[in-house]
Structure 1
Amino acid sequence: MVKATHEASHRLFHDHPEALAPVFEALGLPPPSKGDFDELSPDATEIRPMERRVDTVLRFAPDMGENFVLALESQTKKDPDKARSWAYYVAYLCAKYDLPVVLVAVCRDRATAQWATGPFELVEVGLESTPTRENWRKLMQNAVTHFPGHRTLFEEKYLEGKAEGEARGEAKGVLRVLEVRGLVITDAVRERIVTCSDLTLLHDWLDRAGTVERAEDLFTPGTIATELPKN
């Protein structure tokens, strides 16, 4: 029996789809208005005697921009079977309406929300340790998603994380060179180095870290560095 809390979790978006603004922000899209949506049937039943229903299904159809389908699922707890159901819903709705589909799990607690973000493995079982398993993983790493905002949601976040990781590595390198040379590193100097995200500037500091007389000279353009003694 469907509980009231379950119904309330997704009916909110059925009656007030503009409340989906945080989802659109995550997709890199402008906030929607209520007039951009129209209700679709949540029935995902096939001819076979197996009934499947999505909690709420909406079509986003703005005057300008891409149309897509939003499938809203109320989730109160972890459910291992949902991975298969959600995969089916997305595939079914995409085939039925010939539009990209975004499935949004509406969760009542952080633990369930973290679980609902996935990833869910539906195909690797049975591949064992064969080369096919590794080939599948490589294909999934290179897969391109096509729903609106995918570049903002995935690609940009990935590149941001990659750049941040490179910057942290360069900053550690600069500090290590200064420490090995026995130069005094004040808290202000250390903070400036570790908070810098400009890779070009960090590369320059790393080059200069081996020759400057003081750690502070890293930040002074035109400072004459001490020439290293020749062997």
Structure 2
Amino acid sequence: MVNPPHEAMHHIFRHDLHLFSRLKDVLGLPLPDAVEAVVLPNDLTETRPVERRVDTLLRLDSAQDGSLLLAIEAQGRKDPSKPASWAYYVSYLWTKYGLPTVLLVVCQDRATAEWAALPVSSGPAYMPTLSVRPIVVGPHNMPVITDPAKAAEDLALATLSAVTHAGDPDIGAILKALSTALRDVPENVADPIIEFTAQGLSKRPAQELWRTLVAVDLSFYKSYLAEEIRDEGRAEGKAEGRAQASADAILLVLEQRGLDVSDDVRARVTGCDDPETLRGWLARAVTAVSAEEIFAEE
């Protein structure tokens, strides 16, 4: 089932066609520097009424090594049927285009990433006719980018880092670095990064933190997400639900960072119903050295 995190994990490679080539230092692989990258049709449907679609398909052209195909799959959970589908994709693309094909699987949790990285053969163990050995990107090998300067050097890589580390205890610092880096870039550059990050964090606690950072750090942008946040803030009848979500996000960030949250802090956070105050506390929770420090400026 297609969902926002699924779309973000592979669409970021369409947004920045050279992102894969720049992963060579991260993955420790001798990847070629693509001279040109082309988005190809992702429809792998046969003439029979069986529809098969790879999430994203790119052709990478290198002056030194010629061309190769990059099939990108976003995988949210373990699925025993997937290796066979991946084998089909690679075989079909090899047959159709006559080009070497690389399969890249992007995951958001370590268990799924480790499962996806396991080699699977279609034949018996003593005669592996076809083996699937995908390259896997996930929280186990993506860099944790918490320095705004580093994030600014490669916004697409910083976005992929944020999406794949959506459940990481450092996600607050990762998102803060990204939102800070976006302050100094043109709006047309920042907008897709804002949306990809929001999609990638969908249905996770970190999404509320990202929404708050967009509203506070990037308030001058007019992206869909930023406007949605402001509309929600003005809508009557939603204040209580928004306050509860913000309070939950504050406590989650503090706890995931290993800070001791006293009963007094918890009571003060959950008892507050002012959206602006809660946003300020949430922004400070990312870098505070103690839970009490989020109230320091008051």
Give TM-score, length-normalised by structure 2: 0.40
By how many angstroms is 1:121 displaced? 3.3
Could you tell me which residue of structure 2 aligns to residue 72 of structure 1?
72
State whether residues 68 and 100 of structure 1, in contact with CA within 8 Å, keep that contact through their aligned partners in structure 2.
yes
Matching of residue 22 in structure 1 with residue 15 in structure 2:
no
Matching of residue 112 in structure 1 with residue 102 in structure 2:
no
By how many angstroms is 1:92 displaced? 0.4
Could you tell me which residue of structure 2 aligns to residue 179 of structure 1?
none
Could you tell me which residue of structure 2 aligns to residue 59 of structure 1?
59
Instruction: Report SS of the residue matched to 2:77.
Output: coil
CA distance in 1, matches of 2:63, 2:110: 35
Could you tell me which residue of structure 1 aligns to residue 36 of structure 2?
36
Identity among equivalent positions (%) equals: 43
State whether residues 10 and 74 of structure 1, in contact with CA within 8 Å, keep that contact through their aligned partners in structure 2.
yes
Give the letter aligned to residue 29 of structure 1.
L
By how many angstroms is 1:123 displaced? 2.1
* Alignment gaps of 5+ in structure 1: 125-132, 146-231
The farther-off stretch of 56-65 and 71-80 is 56-65
State whether residues 70 and 103 of structure 1, in contact with CA within 8 Å, keep that contact through their aligned partners in structure 2.
yes
Number of aligned residues: 130
State whether residues 17 and 38 of structure 2, in contact with CA within 8 Å, keep that contact through their aligned partners in structure 1.
no
Could you tell me which residue of structure 1 aligns to residue 123 of structure 2?
123
CA distance in 1, matches of 2:24, 2:57: 15
Instruction: Report SS of the residue matched to 2:122.
Output: coil
CA distance in 1, matches of 2:60, 2:29: 13
By how many angstroms is 1:122 displaced? 2.4
By how many angstroms is 1:36 displaced? 1.6
State whether residues 33 and 62 of structure 2, in contact with CA within 8 Å, keep that contact through their aligned partners in structure 1.
no
State whether residues 72 and 105 of structure 2, in contact with CA within 8 Å, keep that contact through their aligned partners in structure 1.
yes
CA distance in 2, matches of 1:41, 1:14: 12
When residues 23 and 81 of structure 1 are mapped into structure 2, their CA distance, relative to the original with a 3 A threshold, is farther
Instruction: Report SS of the residue matched to 1:67.
Output: strand
When residues 93 and 30 of structure 1 are mapped into structure 2, their CA distance, relative to the original with a 3 A threshold, is closer
State whether residues 36 and 63 of structure 1, in contact with CA within 8 Å, keep that contact through their aligned partners in structure 2.
no
State whether residues 32 and 62 of structure 2, in contact with CA within 8 Å, keep that contact through their aligned partners in structure 1.
no
1:146-172 deviations in Å (ceiling 9; x for gaps) = xxxxxxxxxxxxxxxxxxxxxxxxxxx
When residues 30 and 49 of structure 1 are mapped into structure 2, their CA distance, relative to the original with a 3 A threshold, is closer
* Alignment gaps of 5+ in structure 2: 134-298
Equivalent positions of 1:134-173 (< 5 A) are 134=126, 136=127
Could you tell me which residue of structure 1 aligns to residue 7 of structure 2?
7
CA distance in 1, matches of 2:32, 2:91: 26
CA distance in 1, matches of 2:61, 2:108: 28
By how many angstroms is 1:7 displaced? 0.5
Give TM-score, length-normalised by structure 1: 0.51
Give the letter aligned to residue 84 of structure 1.
A
